[in-house]
Amino acid sequence: MCRWEIFYTLAEKLNVMIEPLPKHEDEWAYYESEPLFEYVTRVSDMMGETVTDINSDGSYSSTPHLQPFRFASDFLDGKIDTQSIYMNLYESPDIQDTLRAFGLDSSKFWYLCLFIKWRVDFEYNTAFVFPDSTKEKLHSLISEFEKLSPEFQGGKSISKVPATLSFKVDGGKTITIDDANTLTFIGAAIESFLEQQDTDDLITSNSYGISELEKVDLSVRTKIYLYHKYLSLFVSPLEAIKGIYASKDKSLLISRMIYVFRVSEDKKLYTDLNEKKNKQNQLKGYLSRYKPFKFWHY
């Protein structure tokens, strides 16, 4: 099946409510002049580029058009799953009335939601743990030292909080320090060092090769967090039009898109009701249980 056949098959299977995306010979057109990508390009600029080109000398370069262009290419080539989207819910008055209340174009918003799903899937499938820099590790250590809250008595620092610092080189003996006076001096020395070397690349950089990074399996909760993060960039500044009767709950709109676009299979994200049919903020529950951590993707 050729590219155009795939494109028309997609257009036929999508509801007529969603305008089909045309093919452009100029890849910049998806960024600069494609009306259906108005919302996509706006959010792409805010979320930052992860899509790069490799130059002939092996270096990497990135231009703002690459992300929308790659998304459009994958979409037109049939590489993005659109058949699993709950279109019956997207087309429902619950969603369409809300979009009208915020003055949004349904097709443009649909492409935006699919674009964010595409981006989140990319991050989800290429995630590596991003190690802390030396500076970050030392600041973490200082934060622990500060919990001692030492008091100066009798010519030395005293703390009511017990603490132990252990150090061992492989094959050597373990050195254990558990007196507040010594621990306080160690913390002060590290803090003084950081103040003097705050911008030194040796302590601020995260210079790791791919082979040194640990692949991580992200949870669905992470996908929900990322989707909420990116769609919020677009939804949060919106202002509702007065006189239109519809739900104007921005958080609920994002929550429903997470379910409609199959980021999560939790239907409560759409209904926002618990087992007793009482209103609950299911999305807020997911976000409150999410523990942020740094990850990197290629």
Tell me the mean pLDDT in the region 261-277.
Answer: 85
User: Structure tokens of 62?
Assistant: 């990135």
Tell me the mean pLDDT in the region 168-187.
Answer: 80
User: Does the structure show a pLDDT above 50 at 9?
Assistant: no
Q: Summarize pLDDT for 209-227 with one digit per residue, the tens.
A: 444 445 555 678 889 999 9
| Distance between CA atoms of residues 256 and 262, nearest Å | 10
Greatest Cα-to-Cα distance within the chain, rounded to the nearest angstrom: 85
Q: Summarize pLDDT for 98-147 with one digit per residue, the tens.
A: 999 999 999 999 999 999 999 998 887 776 655 566 777 777 787 887 77
Res 3: pLDDT: 43
| Short-list 24, 22, 1, CA closest to 78 | 1
Band the pLDDT of 2: cuts 50, 70, 90.
very low
Percent of the chain with pLDDT over 70: 74
User: Does the structure show a pLDDT above 60 at 295?
Assistant: no
CB 249 within 8 A of CB 283: no
| Distance between CA atoms of residues 73 and 3, nearest Å | 10
Res 14: pLDDT: 46
Tell me the mean pLDDT in the region 69-88.
Answer: 96
Res 293: pLDDT: 57
User: Structure tokens of 25?
Assistant: 């010979």
Tell me the mean pLDDT in the region 24-46.
Answer: 95
Res 27: pLDDT: 92
User: Does the structure show a pLDDT above 90 at 57?
Assistant: no
| Distance between CA atoms of residues 48 and 226, nearest Å | 13
Give the residue carrying structure tokens 């509702």: 240
What's the mean per-residue pLDDT of the chain?
Answer: 80
Band the pLDDT of 287: cuts 50, 70, 90.
confident
At a CB cut-off of 8 Å and minimum separation 6, what does 54 contact?
60
